[in-house]
Amino acid sequence: MVRVARHVNSLLEVNTYLVYGDSGEAVLIDPGSDVGGYLGLARSLGVRVAVIAATHLHPDHVAGLRTSAELTGAPVAYCPEDLPAWRALLRLARAWGLPVEEERLPEPDLDLCGPAELVVGGVRLVALRAPGHSPGSVVLYEPVARAAFTGDVIFMGGVGRVDFPYSDPEAMAETLARLRRLLPPEAELHPGHGPSTVMERELLLNPFLAGEPEPGG
């Protein structure tokens, strides 16, 4: 039985998720700004953070990455192709006056760019490459529970912006076409911001996913 718990962070309302099975070992996804909030949630659920993963390196999603890695000792997983985007967005975020202070990220213990899986106490998350919003974006998919952690790729009723430095609108279109094929209609989607949804609903109501698949796409 795979369970999902969510903490909404104060910085840009990023969703941090704890995904865990019966063993009580958890994957922490997108460690946002409120380290005390989501590590406190893990404690109250009685789960131990066994690995920390980022769907992408935009600073709001990894604001607590270094601190939570230091506090838990858990290995870190992300796609380092996002590092240039992280640096560029960090400068932008500071210019906007956002309280983003992370000066460096821990090296990834596990590279999510390649074919990669996170297997932790009954939870198996497959990293699906999903470039577009950022070059190193991944969707983390649990095929048994049919739960997808979509980062800033798919939201309820929308998709991630592609006007940031290092965004790529064409790659995003290919990513969305591929995810439409890969994710079953019953898949639960847990995005990086906003409420969770179901693929079937998005195929009907999300203007970026509805409609006929492109030929050969």
Decide whether 14 or 50 has the Cβ nearer to Zn ion: 14
Residue nearest to Zn ion (CB): 58
Please state the closest distance from residue 200 (CB atom) to Zn ion, in A.
Answer: 24
- CA atoms in the 13 A half-sphere facing the CB of 163: 0
Please state the closest distance from residue 145 (CB atom) to Zn ion, in A.
Answer: 23
Answer for which of 25, 34, 142, 152 binds Zn ion (CB under 5 A) is: 152
25 contacts Zn ion (rule: CB under 5 A): no
Decide whether 21 or 32 has the Cβ nearer to Zn ion: 32
Binding string, residues 39-78; x marks residues near Zn ion by CB under 5 A: -------------------x--------------------
By CB under 5 A, what part of segment 179-208 binds Zn ion?
192
Decide whether 145 or 172 has the Cβ nearer to Zn ion: 172
Please state the closest distance from residue 106 (CB atom) to Zn ion, in A.
Answer: 19
DSSP per residue over 154-206, as a string? EETTEE----STT--HHHHHHHHHHHHHHS-TT-EEEESBS--EEHHHHHHH-
**What is the 3-class SS of 61-130, one letter each residue?**
HCCCHHHHHHHHCCCEEECHHHHHHHHHHHHHHHHCCCCCCCCCCCCCCEECCCCEEEEECCEEEEEEEC
Chain residues that interact with Zn ion, rule: CB under 5 A: 58, 152, 192
